[in-house]
Chains A and B, each alone.
Chain A
Amino acid sequence: MKYWFLFALPAMIFFLLFVGWPLLEVFRLSLYETNFITSTYVGLKNYKKLLIDPAFHYALKNSFWYCILITLGQVGISVFISLLCFDLSKKWQDAVRIILYLPTLSAGIIIAQSWRWIFHYDGLLNWILSLFKIKPVAFFQKSFTAIPAISIIIITAGIGGYIIILLSAMIGIDKDIIQAAKIDGANWFQIKIMIILPMIKKIIGMITVLSMVGSFQIFETIYSLAPYEYSASLTYNIYREGFQFSNYGLASAQAVVLLFITTILMLSKNKLERSD
C-alpha cells in the first residue's frame, strides 16, 4: 500500500501537465491584457468588463437556453426510448444501442455539416414545409429558430450514450420486482412509471447533470452552422472574444466563469452519486 503514489503518478503527472497547469494559466491570463506579444497586468478589470459586456450576457443567456432545451430533450428522449426498448429482446436492444450510438462516434463538425443540408434555406426541411405551402425559413438567421435547431442537432448526436447507460440500469433491476408487480395487476404503463422510473432515478439524475455540463460546452455545431452573437454559447463566445477579437484576457475571464458554472454542476453530480 505504501507505494500507492507510484501507481497514481502517471495519471497525476498527466493531470497536472494537461489540466492543472492550463487551468492556472487561464486564470493568470484572465488578469492580463495580452496579444501574446506584449502583456499588461490589469487585475480584475476583465471580470468587471464582463459585468457590462452585452455579448457575454447574450452568450450566458443563450447557454442557459441551450442547457434547458438540450437537457430536457436528451434526458426526456433517452428515458422514453430506453423504456420502450426495455421489453425488447437482447438482439433488438443491441441493435437500437448501436444505431443510436453511431452519431456519438462521429465528429461534431461532420454531424453539423450533415444537418446543414436539412436546415439550409434550400434544404430538406424547407422542402417539406413547402409541401404544406409554408414559406422557407432561414433557421439560423434568428435566435428564436437557431437555438432550437442547434439543440435538436446536439440532442440527436448525444442520446445514444445516455440510452446505453439507462438500459444498463434497467437491466440491473431485479426481475422479481417486476414479476411481483405484474401479479399484483400492474399494467405495462404502471410498471414503467411506478416501478422502473423510481428505481433508476439516481441514474436519470446523473445523466441530467452530465447533459447540463455537456450543453455548456457545445462549440463546433455553433461554429459551423450559426456563428452569430444571437446564437453564441459561452464556449463559442470565448473563442470569438479570443481568436477573432484578440481579447485573450477577456476570453480567459469568460473561461473562468464557465469553469465555475461547470464545477458547480459537477459537484452536484458527485453529491447525487453519493446520496441514497
Chain B
Amino acid sequence: MKKIFLILLCLIILFPFFSCSKDKGIEITILHSGASAFKGDKNQFDFAMEKFKLDYPDVKVNFLQVDLSDGSTLTMDAMLAAGKAPNIYIDTLVRASKYITPEFALPLNEYVRDINQYQDLSAYTRNGNILALPIPGSAQGMVVNMEIMKEIGYEIPPNWTIDDFIIMAEKVKLRYGGTKWATGMFAANQSGDYLINNWFASFGAKYYNSGDYSKCIIADSGGARTYEFFQYLSKQGYIPPGASTLTDDDYVIQWAKGDLAATAFFPAWVEPYFQTVIEQGQRKERFEYRFVPFPRYSGVEKVPTYYMNGAIIVYNSKSEEVNRIAARFAEYINGKEVQEKYAEIQSLPNRKDVLVEIEDPYMEQVNQIVIDNGIFDVGLTNSTFALTRPLHYPILQRVLNLEISPEEAINLYQKKINEVLK
C-alpha cells in the first residue's frame, strides 16, 4: 500500500513535466494600445482580419492590449523579458519608437507589398531598412473654452502672447475664484509630456538642434523660462491645486467638464471625453470650443505644435514564415480602407492613395496651426524617446511644488536626457 502511494505521488509530481498540448499550428500575437473608434461597427482589426483570413485561414491571431496605467512600456518589456515578444506591436510613437531598432524590428521593405503607397518613411528607416509603418496621427492645439471666454468677456487675439495669456488667466481667477482655471497641468505620470512640452515651444526652447538627436539643448535654448512660468502659474492659482499629483485622467476630465479655459488637447479626444462627462452626469451638454496656437513669449515668432502618431512594428522572429504572415497582417491593418476610416475620425492619413478633404472645422483649425507654426521636434521617432520621456515628470513635480529653482530644474533635465543619449 505504501509503495503504491509513493508511486502515485511520484506520478503526480512528474505528470506536469510530460504534459504537452497538441500542435496548435501557427499563431501570431498582436499587442496594441487599443482599437480605434471608427464610425460604424468595425475597427482596424476587423478590417484587417477580413482580408487576412482569406490569405491565411488557419492562422490564429491573438490580440493583447497594452497596460496604459502609467504610460510606460511595461507590457512590452514584460513580454520581452518572458521571451514572448509579440509578432506585431502597435502603439503611439511615445512608446513604440523604443522598438524601432534593427535588433527588434523586421525590415518591412521586402514584406509589405504596398510600401510605396506610404508618404515619407524616413523617420522609420534605419540603415536603409523601413522598420515600422506609420499610423495616421494628429497634431494638438490649445483648445479654448468659448463658454468661459464669453463669461469672462475675453477674446483671444490672433497670434496671442504670454502676456495675453496672463490677462486671460487673471480674468478666469477673478470670475471663478479657484473653481475653474486658466490652463491644465499634471505631473503624476509621464503621460503629460506631449501636453506640457508644448509650453517649451511657447518660450522658444528647443529639445534638439536641427534634428541632431545626439544632444539635448533644452536648457541651453532657454527652457528655464518655461519652468519659471509654470511656477508663476502655480503660485498665482492659475492651474488646478496639487497639479503635481494629478494624472492625465484628471486632466482630460477637467477639460471636458469645462473647468479649463485654454489648454493643450487633440481634436480626436474631444468627442470621447465629452461623451464621458455627459454619461457620468458631470455635464449636461457640450460647450463651444476652438483650437488656437499656444501663446508665444516676446521675441518668439512661431510656436510649433506637437504632432503624435502611432507605429506598427513587426518583430523579427527566427521563423521566416511567421515573419511573412505577421507582415501581411501589418499591411492589412494600415491599408487604404483602414486609413480612410482614420480620416473620418480626424486623423491625418499618411498614404498617397488616401485623399481626403478635411471638412471638420476643428481639424481645419489644428491643420492651420501646423501650417502656420510647424511641428515641435521632441525627437519622437528617435528610439531613445521612450527612455528620455519619463525623465521629465519627476522634475516637473518638483517644479510645480516649488521645491527647485527653474534653472536648477532645467539643467538637471537636460543633463539626464544627455546621459541617456550618450
- A3, A36, A37, A138: the one contacting B245 at CB < 8 Å is A138
| A206–B98 alpha-carbon span in the complex (Å) | 47
Q: In the complex the two chains form, is A243's CB within 8 Å of B241's CB?
A: no
Which residues of chain A from 189 to 213 have any CB-CB distance to chain B below 8 Å in the complex?
Answer: none
Q: Which residue of A lies closest to B12 (CB)?
A: A10
Interface stretch of the complex, out of A67-75, A165-173, A226-234, A260-268: A226-234
Chain B, range 336-358, C-beta contacts under 8 Å to A: none
Kindly list chain B residues whose C-beta atoms are within 8 Å of the C-beta of A242. Answer: 77
Would you call A141 and B245 a contact (CB within 8 A)? yes
- Looking at chain B's contact residues, is the secondary structure mostly helix, strand, loop, or mixed? helix
Known contacts: A6-B6, A228-B394. The answer to whether A244 contacts B80 by CB under 8 A is no
- Contact yes or no, A228 B6, CB < 8 A: no
Least CB separation from B389: chain A residue: A244
B390: chain A residues at CB < 8 Å are: 244-245
- Whether the Cβ atoms of B10 and A243 lie closer than 8 Å is no
Give B residues with C-beta under 8 Å from A.
Answer: 6, 9-10, 13, 70, 72-74, 77-78, 80-81, 98-99, 101, 103-104, 188-190, 241-242, 244-245, 386-387, 390-391, 394, 397-398, 401
The contact of A36 among B72, B81, B397, by CB within 8 Å, is B81
Given A6-B9, A229-B394, 10 new contacts (CB under 8 A):
A6-B6, A36-B81, A37-B104, A136-B241, A138-B241, A141-B244, A229-B398, A243-B70, A245-B387, A246-B387
Complex: chain A residue closest to B9, CB-CB: A6
Q: B6 contacts A3, CB within 8 Å? A: yes
Task: Give complex CA distance A245, B74 in Å.
Answer: 10
A114 on the interface (CB 8 Å rule)?
Answer: no
Known contacts A6-B6, A38-B103, A244-B190: does B13 contact A228 (CB below 8 Å)? no
User: Which residue of A is nearest B401, CB measured?
Assistant: A141
Q: Give Cα distance in the complex from A89 to B344, angstroms.
A: 71
Q: Are A6 and B10 in contact (CB under 8 A)?
A: yes
**Contact (Cβ within 8 A) B241 A228:** no
Interface string of A135-170 (1 = CB under 8 A from B): 010101110000000000000000000000000000
Distance of B66 from chain A, by nearest CB (Å): 12
Cβ of A245: which chain B residues have Cβ within 8 Å of it?
387, 390-391
**Which residues of chain A (29-43) have a CB below 8 Å from chain B?**
35-38
- Give the 7 A-B CB pairs with smallest separation, nearest first: A36-B80, A138-B242, A243-B74, A244-B390, A244-B72, A229-B394, A36-B81
Q: Is the CB of B13 within 8 A of A13?
A: yes
Q: How long is the Cα–Cα vector from A140 to B401 in the complex, in angstroms?
A: 11
Chain A residue contacts of B81, Cβ below 8 A: 36, 248
Q: What 1/0 mask marks residues of chain A from 1 to 38 whose CB sits below 8 Å from any chain B CB? A: 00100110110010000000000000000000001111
Collect the chain A residues with CB atoms within 8 Å of residue B98's CB: 35, 246
User: A37 and B80 in contact (CB under 8 A), knowing A6-B10, A121-B241?
Assistant: yes
Can you name the residue of chain A whose Cβ is closest to the Cβ of B71? A244
A243: which of B77, B104, B398 is its contact (CB, 8 Å)? B77
